[in-house]
Amino acid sequence: MSEHIFLEDVGKPYSSSPIGDARLWEVPDLRKDSSIPPFIYVIESEIGQNFLLGREICGRPKFNMIRYLAKAFVQLFFEKLSGKRLSQYLILRGAYPFDLQCAFGSAPPYDIQLLPTCFIKLQKTLNKEKTDWEIEGGDFIGKYQGDCWLVPETAIASGSTVAFFLKNAFKHHLPKQVYVFTTCGSLEGVQRIYRECLLAGVELIPVFSQCLFEVSKVGNLPDLPLTDLPILNPGSITTKAFYEKAVGRYQGTRMCSAGNVTESLDDPFQYSIHTLWEMQILGMDPKKENWEAWTADVRQEKFRKKVADFNTGLHDYFRETWGVKKTD
């Protein structure tokens, strides 16, 4: 078995944010693989770590985390982007909390003018074989423009959504560069996106937060291929210190670090139930979980009833830890 590769083995510190709360790593020529962009960037920050270790966080607190991460991304890349004709493309619904508009507003010229932004709605469905995702076109609001495109996406697993968008968008306007920013993204997803950029002759600059994930071919929950992003997958690359934190937080299991981000914002209770279900499937010990850190109070009687209605076996798995007596 080969040794695990860490970010320190393949990258080098590149820059830091003005107040030192985030550090940028540059990863050149990863694996000497031509299917991977020649330069990949990884932002290391405390908020990025908390986001990936915080499967229990949902709703407004998670939304605020993503907004804060957007500021860190812009701070570290503003100088590189300065002077370029920028245009932002938000693929809804997943990208809306990661909108860079506010983050750009603290420096000229965006303290006066708005960052040009387009909105795209796409439909993603599981293919018949249940092995990958198929994308269908939807509504587009805005104008294809700019030499440098910014595509923020909270989670990139298979990469199918962003790749589909770029393939079709390049038919209308061809930028020189595309920056893809993601709070939780996979190398496999970026490879799919990079193929479209190579075909069009467009430079791709992928920027990750905290970890270059290896996406799981089969998800922990049923019928979810190419969606899980566990830090402990053998091909995931992060710093050694953060890897060790993840081992402790997720009890050595390949727990997905993101879950369904859209669900976590729109339906915190259902998201929390799915998080509990994944913990049960992976055999995580409920007694080692910090229940005080959960956004949704899963120990409340109202919530416990929702869990029991969803799956009685799931309720029984956590019953003792939650202090619920067994009834005949």
CATH number of 35's domain: 3.40.50.2020
Domain boundary among 214, 249, 284: 249
Helix or strand holding residue 69 (H, E): helix 59-81
The answer to whether 165 and 85 have CB atoms below 8 angstroms apart is no
Say whether pLDDT at 222 is over 70: yes
In a shared domain, residues 43 and 177: yes
As a whole number, the mean pLDDT across the chain is 93
In a shared domain, residues 274 and 178: no
pLDDT at 326: 65
pLDDT at 51: 97
pLDDT at 327: 57
When pLDDT is cut at 50, 70 and 90, the band that residue 1 belongs to is very low
Say whether pLDDT at 211 is over 70: yes
What confidence tens digit (pLDDT) does each residue in 139-178 have?
999 999 999 999 999 999 999 999 999 999 999 999 999 9
Residues with Cβ < 8 Å from 278, sequence gap 6 or more? 55, 220, 221, 255, 256, 259
In a shared domain, residues 242 and 267: no
In a shared domain, residues 55 and 198: yes
Domain boundary among 204, 219, 249: 249
What are the angstrom distances between the C-alpha of 230 and each of 70, 112, 185? 22, 41, 10
Of 216, 192, 213, the closest CA to residue 35 belongs to 192
The torsion angle over the Cα atoms of residues 235, 39, 149 and 157, rounded to 10 degrees, is 0
When pLDDT is cut at 50, 70 and 90, the band that residue 2 belongs to is low
Taking residue 136's Cβ as centre, other Cβ atoms within 10 Å add up to 9
Higher pLDDT, 42 or 137: 42
When pLDDT is cut at 50, 70 and 90, the band that residue 105 belongs to is very high
Does any domain span residue 284? yes
pLDDT at 328: 43
Of 159, 73, 168, 86, the closest CA to residue 120 belongs to 168
In total, how many domains does the chain have?
Answer: 2
Does any domain span residue 324? no
Domain extent for 296? 261-319
Does any domain span residue 1? no
In a shared domain, residues 153 and 272: no
Does any domain span residue 254? no
In a shared domain, residues 109 and 205: yes
In a shared domain, residues 37 and 181: yes
The answer to whether 189 and 216 have CB atoms below 8 angstroms apart is no
Least confident of 61-65, 160-164, 321-325: 321-325
Does any domain span residue 255? no
In a shared domain, residues 184 and 108: yes
Which residue is it, tokens 């409920």? 286
When pLDDT is cut at 50, 70 and 90, the band that residue 106 belongs to is confident
58 burial (CB, 10 Å; 0-12 / 13-18 / 19+) is buried
Query: What is the mean predicted confidence (pLDDT) over 282-297?
Result: 96
Does any domain span residue 101? yes
In a shared domain, residues 105 and 227: yes
In a shared domain, residues 129 and 194: yes
Domain boundary among 199, 218, 249: 249
Say whether pLDDT at 207 is over 60: yes
Does any domain span residue 88? yes
In a shared domain, residues 167 and 265: no
In a shared domain, residues 230 and 208: yes
Per the confidence metrics, is the pTM higher than 0.85? yes
Query: What is the mean predicted confidence (pLDDT) over 214-243?
Result: 91
How far apart CA 304 and CA 301 sit, in angstroms, is 5
